Structure 1
Amino acid sequence: MASCSTRMSRCRGIMAKMTFSEGEDLMELASCVIPPLTTGQSKGGAGRVAVIGGSEEYTGAPYFAAFSALKTGVDLAHVFCEKSAGTAIKSYSPELIVHPLLALKSSGADPTEVEQGVSQWIPRLDGLLVGPGLGRDELVVQTSASLITAAAERGTPIVLDADGLFILTSAVRSGGGDAVYARLLEALRGAPLTITPNKVEFERLCKAMGLAEEGAFGRAPSLAPVVATRLGRHTVVVVKGPSDVITDGSITVTCSEGGSPRRCGGQGDVLAGMLLAFRTWAHAAAAK
């Protein structure tokens, strides 16, 4: 069997010419990163991941994301949510490890204590997804931004979706004028980052970057690589639409494979959870 590095090099060559109708190439690409199941593997060997998200109004989103990562194949999935969401999320599945540690600004909680309560888990994680059902409470956003930075500085694979993209766009818009956001952007430049914007989110991010005032979504094949390059050298942008645009800044592929025409809640959360699993695996495979 070829070494992992050899297989990864071949897979990158496959990506450079892929049209997504080439089923065999897709299977080979996937096989490069999926960890093999062996009898010598210990719990967590296929990945320990976490979702930061979940608020009183949105308890389903973090569940869909974390459970999708589990169903894709990771071993352990944590959810770090706002206190009022904990009981509901725990009741959805006994397989999720739920930590109701995030706090609203109105709670009067000490920001440092809240951040430390979650950040102590960061070194134990192989991948982190931020955003599903997170909400935009000031303290929750502040805490989440600091946690993204902590994970990025460790080189942990990160996926940003939904309100995680709101945090990223806010950081870009600040232009480095906010110390917390400036540190976040600097940390992300060297981190394995994946972002999953829809039409509205992509256009907001492009506007914040000064790339386009309007109509950015229609120019996604040309603008997405610029976004990826500006955010960092290991960034992958997945622009969701009728034809998905996926790019790391140097290689761009599109996926027009048909699916359900419905646009119901939870679809993006499921995708984000699956991407969390695969980005975690890809990072581990590349390190071998």
Structure 2
Amino acid sequence: MTARLLRHQLYSVDQVRALDRYAITTLGIPGYALMERAAAAALVSLRRHWPQAHRLAVYCGPGNNGGDGFLLALLAREAGMQVEVVALGESHGDDAVRARQAFESAGGRVQLWHGARELPLADVQVDALFGTGLTRALAPEVARLVQHMRAGGQPVLALDVPSGVNADTGEVPGEAVHADVTVSFIALKRGLVTGQAPGYVGELELDALGLPESLWLNTPADAQRMHAWTLPPRPRQAHKGDNGHVLAIGGDHGTAGAIRLCGEAALRAGAGLVSVATRSEHLVALNSARPELMAHDVNGPQALEPLLQRATVLAVGPGLGQGAWGHALWLTALDAGKPLVLDADGLNLLAREPRTLGGAAVLTPHPGEAARLLGCDTAAIAKDRFAAVRQLARRYDAVVVLKGAGSLVADPAGRVAVCPWGNPGMASGGMGDLLTGMVAALRAQGCDAWQAACLGVGLHARAGDLAAQHGGERGMLASDLLAPLRLLLNGCES
């Protein structure tokens, strides 16, 4: 497996442990040798990011992650750096003990952490406290150390996992290290790219420790990071009928903006035609602001029927409401048997009246909506986003997008893709309405549900990143994504 492909593969913690065991028992590479390779890789990363650094503070835990830290400290000393090591206590495990002894035998001094001591002065701090094995909150005395590290203000290199982050799920159950760079060893851990984890990981790197390709051949990745891609150019003879007809259904009293954003995103994502089924009070505003949208007064299911017959794909939910009007349109849309994208109140109504959707639907819940769909609370969703999105896809027989930092896409068979793009500026109203319209437009242009969800999520996040580059994150509007979206779809931005 090439290094480029491996950077897109995401593994569970159990899988990484199995890979580690295979390298030791089958490939015959001693665990201590892997530890030496990890330390060398960490030093390369450190020198690349902070070439002027001379003083190093390394914080070592009791296990193998701490062993990596001790060997990094040894290599840094040999390279002429001033190194101070702070340990939580004694080391445990043959390899970790051996690594500590190697550092001390070379003249290194280990200070033990207690809550009252001052941390060493350093240009860079190294987090080697806990690796993938930690799933609980950090103990109070360790949490105090992490707080002191953050208060010092020096950059942090985390070895394998920022301590306090659950490398399997992305949950951060308590205090955790805020790393500037995390260098992950052997394989990328899936939890580092979703949920709360991206706020702690910083720049994520992978070092496969020089292990042979055969190591990964019999272990399919648990999930994939998305690649940047777009639709191929249209044939010169294309006409609007070739690119599908999206019908956006929603916009109850006072929510014209939601359905307009959805419809306009469908246009900008390339749908040939976009109709909007909404309240009569919104028609003037929609026709004035975006005349390319074909807005219709729909006062109930009977008025919706002829629009359904002409549509290729339905986008249901933005501003729909959960009253009698919204519920009636929702039922009629689902019964039409068309490919559809469900969001917002379309999902809330589905939580009230569950039904399977036959594999042709895409659901786009945020964590609150996901919790309602699964009958749990948002804390349960955050605890394991991978399990939640897979459960949703199975329960509703649909492709599901679980939105948030590191959005996940799952299908009923358990396949999962993770979005590596996006930024905090996208945490504002209307972003989900855009995504609904985009995914529907991609379905209308011939993508299947999985392709449309993955491409739509990726384009949405990348457009957000481009918008942030041109104006910053804070104050970004959903409509700011429409211009960069068009550029991305046409291959004008990479």
TM-score, scaled relative to structure 2: 0.43
Tell me which structure has the larger Cα radius of gyration. 2
- Counterpart of 2:333 in structure 1 is 147
Task: Tell me the alpha carbon deviations over residues 234-258 of structure 1, each in whole angstroms, 9 at most, x when there is no partner.
Answer: x110011112111013211222323
* Distance in 2, Cα, partners of 1:285 & 1:253: 10
- Counterpart of 1:240 in structure 2 is 403
Offset of residue 54 of structure 1: 0.9
- Counterpart of 1:120 in structure 2 is 306
Offset of residue 38 of structure 1: 2.4
- Counterpart of 2:419 in structure 1 is 255
- Counterpart of 1:101 in structure 2 is 298
SS in 1 for 2:292: coil
* Distance in 1, Cα, partners of 2:309 & 2:280: 22
- Counterpart of 1:194 in structure 2 is 362
* Distance in 2, Cα, partners of 1:66 & 1:16: 35
Worse overlay, 123-132 or 262-271: 262-271
Offset of residue 76 of structure 1: 0.6
- Counterpart of 1:163 in structure 2 is 345
SS in 2 for 1:51: strand
* Structure 2 residue 303 is the aligned partner of structure 1 residue 138: no
Question: Residue 240 of structure 2 contacts residue 272 of structure 2 at CA under 8 Å; is this kept in 1?
Answer: yes
Question: Residue 341 of structure 2 contacts residue 363 of structure 2 at CA under 8 Å; is this kept in 1?
Answer: yes
Offset of residue 94 of structure 1: 0.8
- Counterpart of 2:11 in structure 1 is none
Offset of residue 16 of structure 1: 8.2
Question: Residue 360 of structure 2 contacts residue 449 of structure 2 at CA under 8 Å; is this kept in 1?
Answer: no
> What amino acid sits opposite 2:365 in the alignment?
P
Offset of residue 149 of structure 1: 1.5
Question: Residue 247 of structure 2 contacts residue 307 of structure 2 at CA under 8 Å; is this kept in 1?
Answer: no
Task: Tell me the alpha carbon deviations over residues 208-266 of structure 1, each in whole angstroms, 9 at most, x when there is no partner.
Answer: xxxx456232122112112111212xx11001111211101321122232324352211
Identity score, percent: 30
Task: Tell me the alpha carbon deviations over residues 151-190 of structure 1, each in whole angstroms, 9 at most, x when there is no partner.
Answer: x2xxx21000111111111112xxxxxxxxxxxx25x2x2
* Structure 2 residue 430 is the aligned partner of structure 1 residue 269: no
- Counterpart of 1:107 in structure 2 is none
* Distance in 2, Cα, partners of 1:38 & 1:254: 31
* Distance in 1, Cα, partners of 2:311 & 2:348: 23
> What amino acid sits opposite 2:335 in the alignment?
T
Question: Residue 157 of structure 1 contacts residue 283 of structure 1 at CA under 8 Å; is this kept in 2?
Answer: no
Change (3 A) 1:58 1:284: closer
> What amino acid sits opposite 2:224 in the alignment?
M
Question: Residue 44 of structure 1 contacts residue 74 of structure 1 at CA under 8 Å; is this kept in 2?
Answer: no
* Distance in 2, Cα, partners of 1:120 & 1:191: 24
> What amino acid sits opposite 2:363 in the alignment?
I
* Distance in 1, Cα, partners of 2:427 & 2:294: 29
- Counterpart of 1:18 in structure 2 is 224
Structure 1: runs of 5 or more not aligned: 1-14, 103-113, 173-184
Higher relative contact order (CA 8 A, sep 6+): 1
* Distance in 1, Cα, partners of 2:443 & 2:320: 21
* Distance in 1, Cα, partners of 2:421 & 2:363: 20
- Indicate the structure with greater helix content: 1
Question: Residue 224 of structure 2 contacts residue 416 of structure 2 at CA under 8 Å; is this kept in 1?
Answer: no
SS in 2 for 1:55: coil
Structure 2: runs of 5 or more not aligned: 1-220, 452-494
Offset of residue 123 of structure 1: 2.4
SS in 1 for 2:238: coil
Question: Residue 367 of structure 2 contacts residue 378 of structure 2 at CA under 8 Å; is this kept in 1?
Answer: no
Change (3 A) 1:136 1:51: same
* Structure 2 residue 395 is the aligned partner of structure 1 residue 227: no
CA RMSD of aligned residues (A): 2.4
- Counterpart of 1:176 in structure 2 is none
TM-score, scaled relative to structure 1: 0.72
- Counterpart of 2:240 in structure 1 is 43
Question: Residue 247 of structure 1 contacts residue 253 of structure 1 at CA under 8 Å; is this kept in 2?
Answer: yes
Question: Residue 316 of structure 2 contacts residue 330 of structure 2 at CA under 8 Å; is this kept in 1?
Answer: yes
> What amino acid sits opposite 1:224 in the alignment?
V
Offset of residue 191 of structure 1: 4.6
SS in 2 for 1:253: strand
- After TM superposition, what 4+ stretches of structure 1 lie above 4 angstroms from structure 2? none
